[in-house]
Amino acid sequence: MPDQPPGSYQALFESRWPHLTNPHVRALAWLLDAPDLLDPASPHWENRIASLGPVSPQTANWLAALELDPAPLQAALGDKHYSRLGLYAEKLMAFYFREQGQLHAHGLQVRADRTDTIGEFDFLLNEGDHLVHIEFATKFYLLDANSTTAGFNGLIGPNLADTLGVKMRKIFDKQLSLASHPAAQALLPLPVTRAQALVKGWLFYPSDVPPMPGISQQHCHGFWMTQAQAQQLPQQHYTIMPRLQWLAPLKTQDGMDQPQLLAALQDITAPVMVAALKEVGEWLVEERRGFVVPDSWRAQAAQRREEGVLPA
């Protein structure tokens, strides 16, 4: 496991938000505070990447108040069990935009008729006398060290279903042009003058973090390793992170030691997210994170490229 330097994002997050312990409030704080995954200034993205900018003192105070009374956020999330991390993150951002008075619409579907859905606006935000269309994504990709693919298609989803390149092409080629469709224009009371993608997430590397054009230098990152390599993990506190807790650095009171972790990893058939934890008072706080993948994961990735499921 590569060492995480003292200036890691996890350390920065804990220094900024030590008072946030509610998992939903922490997840929202991460969505607002985390560095952009993609560099908005890079020519790769043609000025089509949105950025929230630094968290204001007013927003920081609002998050602190939510920690003391999370009922409004809990009410917005409802009692539904979220199986999709992306939908959960969308709900958190919809709550934020609504509370800021920016939200015009969330999840607005555009249909040609009752059976033909053209697309869906993730967020339409009020901005003066016009609207801004924001497509929102929270993504987690592993750099395939054995891939000969250049660029963003070398960053593969843990479930081997997509790549960063495929995802961004879909957003750029289809989703961001939705407002220009005649069926969408009939739904819009104001013109959409800007359409951008807001992308948050973590990238995972088998060794050191290489500079990549188009990727923010400050992006959140971790490691990935195989089951066999995990045998060399050092002695400390660990946990296997549930999917809905992948956003913010973890703060928990439940952990396991290294032998317990290795026992839990013994029979995995899909990648799992692991957090290495350190004791801070009564809490166990995330120091670094990464995926442990089945030993066959690289071969599966190569096979999916050969089959054309992933770009070759």
46 class by beta-carbon count within 10 Å (0-12 exposed, 13-18 middle, 19+ buried): exposed
Q: What integer pLDDT is reported at residue 296 of this predicted model?
A: 94
Residue ranges of the chain whose pLDDT lies below 50:
1-6
Q: What integer pLDDT is reported at residue 117 of this predicted model?
A: 85
Q: pLDDT of 270-307, one tens digit each?
A: 999 999 999 999 999 999 999 999 999 999 998 998 88
**What are the tokens at 58?**
């007013």
Neighbours of 192 (CB within 10 A): 20
SS3 at position 160:
coil
Q: What integer pLDDT is reported at residue 150 of this predicted model?
A: 59
Q: What integer pLDDT is reported at residue 115 of this predicted model?
A: 80
Q: How far is CA 305 from CA 131, 146, 228, in A?
A: 40, 12, 24
Q: What integer pLDDT is reported at residue 3 of this predicted model?
A: 45
Q: What integer pLDDT is reported at residue 7 of this predicted model?
A: 52
Q: What integer pLDDT is reported at residue 259 of this predicted model?
A: 96
Across the strands, what pairs with 272?
292
What is the Cα–Cα distance from 233 to 273, expressed in whole angstroms? 14
